[in-house]
């Protein structure tokens, strides 16, 4: 095994950040896959980019404004039509603040 970039503990932490969960087998497989991919992308380190600006977007655009006008939008019923669970005019979710 070449030098390890991520451990199973790292993968569990990233899974938590991603709101994903995996069983022991999956953790092992994702650790293996992520290590391989990260070793592959390490080839970028060959390039000296100290004087290079990053490109996050290929077209140079900034401050795209539009007039602040009132326009038609979805009705309450349309917005709720795909809700997994609703109560009256609201989206319903499990309890967020737990009792102490």
Told to check if 91 binds other proteins by CB under 8 A, we report yes
> Would you say 91 and 85 are in contact if contact means Cβ atoms under 8 Å apart?
yes
Q: Which of 25, 68, 85, 99 touches other proteins (CB under 8 A)?
A: 85
Told to check if 96 binds other proteins by CB under 8 A, we report yes
d(CA 10, CA 27): 10
- Around Cβ 26, how many Cβ atoms within 10 Å? 13
Told to check if 52 binds other proteins by CB under 8 A, we report yes
d(CA 75, CA 62): 31
Q: Which residues lie near other proteins (CB under 8 A)?
A: 6, 10-11, 14-15, 17-22, 30, 33-34, 36-38, 40-45, 47, 49, 52-59, 61, 64, 66, 74, 78-79, 81-85, 91, 93-96, 98
């Amino acid at each position: 095994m070449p030098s390890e970039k991520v451990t199973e503990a790292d993968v569990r932490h990233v899974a938590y950040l991603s709101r994903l969960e995996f069983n022991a087998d999956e953790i092992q497989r994702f650790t293996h896959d992520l290590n391989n991919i990260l070793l592959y992308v390490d080839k970028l380190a060959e390039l000296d980019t100290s004087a290079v600006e990053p490109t996050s977007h290929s077209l140079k655009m900034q401050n795209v404004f539009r007039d602040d006008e009132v326009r038609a939008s979805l009705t309450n019923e349309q917005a709720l039509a795909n809700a997994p669970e609703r109560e009256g005019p609201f989206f319903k979710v499990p309890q967020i603040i737990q009792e102490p």
